[in-house]
Amino acid sequence: MLDRFDKVFVEEILGTVLKYGGDFAEVFVEDRFSTNISLKNGKVENAQTGRMFGIGIRGFLGDKAIYAYTNDLSKESVLTVAKRVGEALGEVKLSGTSFDLRKKELNNRHFILLKPEEVRKDIKVGYMKRAYEAAKNYSSLIAQVVVNYWDYNQNVLIANSEGVYVTDNRVRTRLMINAVAMKDGQMESGFYGPGAAMGFEFLDKIDVEQAGIRAARIAARMVDAEPAPAGKMTVVISNEFGGVIFHEAVGHALEASSVARGMSVFAGKLGQQVAAECVSAVDDATIPNAWGSANVDDEGTPTQRIVLIEKGILKGYMIDKLGSRRMGMPSTGSGRRQDYTFAPTSRMSNTFILPGDYHPEEIIASVDYGLYAKTMGGGSVNPATGEFNFAVNEGYLIEKGKITRPVKGATLIGKGYEIIQKIEMVGNDVARGQGMCGSYSGSIPADVGQPTIKVREIIVGGRNK
């Protein structure tokens, strides 16, 4: 269905934006098929398939940007939108700029074996039910299990007045399990949501029963837990989804959207020591089939592995095209968006702390009293102040170098630029976990990751005795 946007038509759209005022024009066409299935109590309650289809048109003049989108895709409507974008940029500039669109053949790194639409829905439901059964049977405390399945097949065409004309196909599949445990009228929940830039083969690659058990384990452990202690203490954060701390505390403040206008606490600090020397971190959208990967970003720029911090020194930012203009630095292929209804901006892809030297057991053994954050929940940050918060979904007390008892309801808060200075030990067990990251350009798939790390002190929000 993208065929109606052939080079001639796309050139006309881009030319219209330039003619009426822009010095750069971009087109993003998206045709996406999605499936959502929801299973509660072992029964499918909702089954929905759908199709999004629309175009986003963007123009720049200097470092000003105007964005518009529509899904009325008649030629007349699309050109009217393009004209409005150009006019909004102000100056009427009738000289016109010439450019040639060059079709780029992508070197695809993300091979899909089983396209979602080629798999029968009852087979998808079969896997969901296996995860459900495993979670439900894990413990008699499990009162409810909700399993959600989501896949999509997104076809995009991205073109701009610098000559880019590229198509890409992004397929993603995710299973999300929410288990609820109940005991003496108290309820606690556990979540696990593995996903990948893969087709349905992903559900054979992971063990869906183990995925169900993992969610159930968190719920069952936490319903037996006492409230976490409150106050400042040493915290060991487990690998994989624990990386949400770097994502929130540091990652967002390294996005051009907050750096370019000087809003970030990390603006102007390239080359400076911003973290403890044991910390190195990257954003890598090139990892084959990873949840946050893509061949090109949503501005048509090839993705890359960006070194953000190396041995504590700030090395790079995540930069989109507009950020590139404002900062005078090249795009890093970090322009992303939820869908065509959002203008792209600089975003993370798969962001993680690189492995260090310690065994996770050594790290725990080094703590006299503290919190072990085994499973993290989500979090958020204010990039202007660096203040972050995030939830510990499964926590344990560490006493005299040993994990002693489960604790619930802990939230970690702090300031990103302070916390990364306080990382004292980095483990050798790096792993990544999947999440949805929400920001200016919508909600997008992103991997977070890290090995087990020890932070000297963080404020733990818990209950007071």
User: Of 21-50, which residues contact another protein (CB under 8 A)?
Assistant: 37-38, 40-41, 43-50
Q: C-beta of 123: minimal distance to another protein in Å?
A: 10
For 202-243, where are the alpha helices, taking DSSP H only? 202-205, 208-223
Burial 352-364 (b: 16+ CB within 10 A, else e): bbbbbebebeebb
Is the CB of 47 or the CB of 113 nearer to another protein? 47
Is the CB of 71 or the CB of 273 nearer to another protein? 71
Our finding on whether 63 is near another protein (CB under 8 A) is: yes
Our finding on whether 261 is near another protein (CB under 8 A) is: yes
Residues within window 193-222 making contact with another protein, judged by CB under 8 A: none
Is the CB of 9 or the CB of 69 nearer to another protein? 69
Our finding on whether 79 is near another protein (CB under 8 A) is: no
Our finding on whether 288 is near another protein (CB under 8 A) is: no
CA–CA separation, 123 vs 119, rounded Å?
Answer: 7
Cα 371–chain centre separation: 26
Residues within window 376-405 making contact with another protein, judged by CB under 8 A: 377-380, 382, 384-391
- Options 93-101, 108-116, 356-364, 407-415: segment touching another protein (CB under 8 A): 407-415
Q: DSSP characters for 79-140?
A: HHHHHHHHHHT----TT------EE---------SS-GGGS-HHHHHHHHHHHHHHHHTT-T
Is the CB of 33 or the CB of 202 nearer to another protein? 33
Residues within window 291-320 making contact with another protein, judged by CB under 8 A: none
Is the CB of 175 or the CB of 278 nearer to another protein? 175
439 phi/psi in degrees, rounded to 5: -160, -160
CA–CA separation, 93 vs 183, rounded Å?
Answer: 70
Nearest residue to 107 (alpha-carbon basis) of 344, 295, 333, 257? 295
80 phi/psi in degrees, rounded to 5: -65, -40
Our finding on whether 263 is near another protein (CB under 8 A) is: yes
Q: Coil, strand, or helix at residue 249?
A: helix
115 phi/psi in degrees, rounded to 5: -60, 140
For another protein, how many residues bind (rule: CB under 8 A)? 86
Q: How far is CA 12 from CA 5, 8, 59, 80, 126, in A?
A: 10, 6, 14, 11, 48
Our finding on whether 140 is near another protein (CB under 8 A) is: no
Our finding on whether 150 is near another protein (CB under 8 A) is: no
Our finding on whether 12 is near another protein (CB under 8 A) is: no
Our finding on whether 272 is near another protein (CB under 8 A) is: no
Our finding on whether 9 is near another protein (CB under 8 A) is: no
Please identify which residue in the block is written with the tokens 């940050």.
Answer: 381
- Options 7-15, 79-87, 274-282, 295-303: segment touching another protein (CB under 8 A): 79-87
Our finding on whether 17 is near another protein (CB under 8 A) is: no
- Options 162-170, 208-216, 258-266, 306-314: segment touching another protein (CB under 8 A): 258-266
- Which of 19, 136, 170, 408 lies at the binding interface for another protein (CB under 8 A)? 408
**In contact, 444 and 265? CB cutoff 8 Å:** no
37 phi/psi in degrees, rounded to 5: -130, 135
Our finding on whether 330 is near another protein (CB under 8 A) is: no
Is the CB of 9 or the CB of 67 nearer to another protein? 67
